[in-house]
């Protein structure tokens, strides 16, 4: 079930800076823009350590967006939040998310999913994969013209995260989002291409590293994601971008150190700096290949003074500059 929550700027017109852009309700606009869609999935609560707060993440991020100046030529639209109403299962929510994203992608927009747990990435990938692999006669010529490079279907995942999210599991559980996606690719005979940025060798088991190798995944450790290594970082990303036609960009807020992103389910002392992430985001977005983006794992219970939600909003703002 969809709960459409609209967010507007209530400032007087004379107080609004020239760079401010009002977030418009999404209504299949023809002008290409970024479309915010929230998902209140909270599998981390149901299946792990009982941490609460992820479910409120989309609301907190959207609230922070209303107070930020959006200096961008790319309009920002609001498609609402897919809510867990009356105990709906994750499968039901995933189906709703998938259908919404398919429609948004068809109209040529850039969907930005906000969570919620990292399982939000599953619906994002499936929607993108089915869109670019769909037979041409399923779309109007006008619709196809709005989807970049539909003649090619190589999708690459770029995941900013301390965890691979490749935990083997028969069902969707915390840490298994991209394993679920890899299984989906295998089932549909589609290539699984994955680049992890900020991977922590203390969090991921040897078995997970072995599985990542089995999948031919690529990654850079958090210890490698330093500004002094920017040439190596940029060349690694450029090589990956050259091998794909479309990018599913996913960002787990736990990739940052707790000093700047305390409001996550798995905070840690060390991580990747905001400046490095923004540098890399600029490179990836400037490729023109990013088709969908996730921001996941905000936990409002631990987010003192909305520090992490503000960071998420800042990353969305950064995305709008180059998306």
DSSP SS3 for 70: coil
Averaged pLDDT for residues 114-139: 84
* pLDDT over 60 (residue 45): no
Give buried/exposed letters for 99-138 (b at 16+ CB in 10 A, else e).
ebbbbbbbbbbbbbbbbbbbbbbbbbbbbbbbbbebeeee
Averaged pLDDT for residues 33-47: 79
Confidence band, pLDDT 50/70/90 cuts, at residue 3: very low
Express each pLDDT in 276-303 by its tens digit.
999 999 999 999 999 999 999 999 999 9
The tokens of 139 are what?
A: 């779309």
Confidence band, pLDDT 50/70/90 cuts, at residue 149: low
Measured CA to CA, the distance from residue 56 to residue 37 in angstroms comes to 13
**Residue with structure tokens 């998938």?**
98
Range list of H helices, the chain:
43-47, 57-65, 90-106, 120-133, 141-146, 177-187, 206-214, 230-242, 274-286, 307-322
User: Looking at 9-13, 219-223, 252-256, which range is the least confident one?
Assistant: 9-13
pLDDT at 53: 56
The tokens of 16 are what?
A: 């609004």
Q: Between 144 and 118, name the one with better pLDDT.
A: 118
Rg over CA atoms, the chain: 18
Measured CA to CA, the distance from residue 63 to residue 73 in angstroms comes to 21
Q: Which of 82-91, 131-140, 205-214 has the highest mean pLDDT?
A: 205-214
pLDDT at 16: 34
Confidence band, pLDDT 50/70/90 cuts, at residue 1: very low
Instruction: Identify which of 161, 169, 178 has the alpha carbon closest to the alpha carbon of residue 265.
Output: 161
Confidence band, pLDDT 50/70/90 cuts, at residue 55: confident
pLDDT at 52: 57
pLDDT at 15: 37
Averaged pLDDT for residues 54-62: 88
Q: Which of 83-92, 107-116, 140-149, 242-251 has the highest mean pLDDT?
A: 242-251
Measured CA to CA, the distance from residue 231 to residue 247 in angstroms comes to 21
Q: What is the mean pLDDT of the chain?
A: 86
Percent of the chain scored above 70 by pLDDT? 83
Q: Residue 68 burial by CB count (10 A; 0-12/13-18/19+): exposed, middle or buried?
A: middle
* pLDDT over 50 (residue 240): yes
Cross-strand pairs, 107: none
DSSP SS3 for 58: helix
Confidence band, pLDDT 50/70/90 cuts, at residue 126: very high
Confidence band, pLDDT 50/70/90 cuts, at residue 10: very low
Express each pLDDT in 225-238 by its tens digit.
999 999 999 999 99
Q: Cα 259 vs. chain centroid, distance in angstroms? A: 22
Percent of the chain scored above 90 by pLDDT? 66
Express each pLDDT in 190-227 by its tens digit.
999 999 999 999 999 999 999 999 999 999 999 999 99
Domains of the chain and CATH, by start: 2-322 (3.40.800.10)
């Amino acid at each position: 079930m969809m709960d459409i929550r609209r967010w507007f700027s209530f400032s007087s017109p004379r107080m609004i800076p020239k760079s401010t852009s009002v977030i418009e309700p999404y209504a299949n606009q023809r002008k290409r823009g970024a479309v915010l869609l929230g998902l209140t999935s909270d599998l981390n609560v149901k299946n792990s350590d009982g941490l609460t707060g992820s479910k409120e993440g989309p609301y907190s991020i959207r609230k922070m967006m209303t107070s930020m100046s959006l200096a961008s030529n790319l309009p920002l639209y609001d498609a609402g939040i897919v809510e867990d109403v009356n105990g709906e299962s994750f499968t039901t929510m995933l189906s709703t998310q998938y259908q919404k994203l398919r429609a948004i992608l068809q109209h040529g927009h850039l969907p930005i999913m906000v969570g919620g747990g990292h399982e939000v990435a599953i619906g994002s990938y499936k929607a993108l994969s089915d869109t670019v692999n769909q037979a041409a006669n399923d779309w109007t010529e006008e619709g196809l013209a709005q989807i970049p490079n539909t003649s090619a279907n190589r999708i690459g995942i770029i995941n900013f995260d301390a965890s691979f999210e490749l935990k083997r599991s028969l069902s969707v559980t915390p840490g298994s989002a991209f394993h679920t996606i890899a299984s989906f690719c295998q089932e549909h005979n589609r290539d699984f291409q994955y680049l992890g940025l900020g991977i922590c060798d203390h969090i991921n088991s040897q078995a997970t590293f072995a599985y990542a190798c089995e999948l031919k995944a690529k990654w850079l450790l958090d210890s490698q994601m330093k500004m002094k290594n920017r040439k190596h970082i940029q060349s690694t990303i450029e090589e990956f971008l050259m091998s794909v036609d479309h990018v599913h960009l996913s960002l787990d807020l736990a990739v940052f150190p707790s000093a700047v992103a305390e409001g996550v389910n798995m905070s840690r002392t060390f991580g990747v700096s905001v400046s490095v992430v923004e540098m890399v985001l600029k490179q990836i977005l400037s490729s023109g290949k990013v088709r969908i983006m996730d921001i996941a794992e905000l936990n409002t219970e631990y987010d003192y003074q909305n520090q992490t939600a503000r960071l998420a909003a800042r990353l969305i703002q950064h995305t709008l500059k180059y998306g």
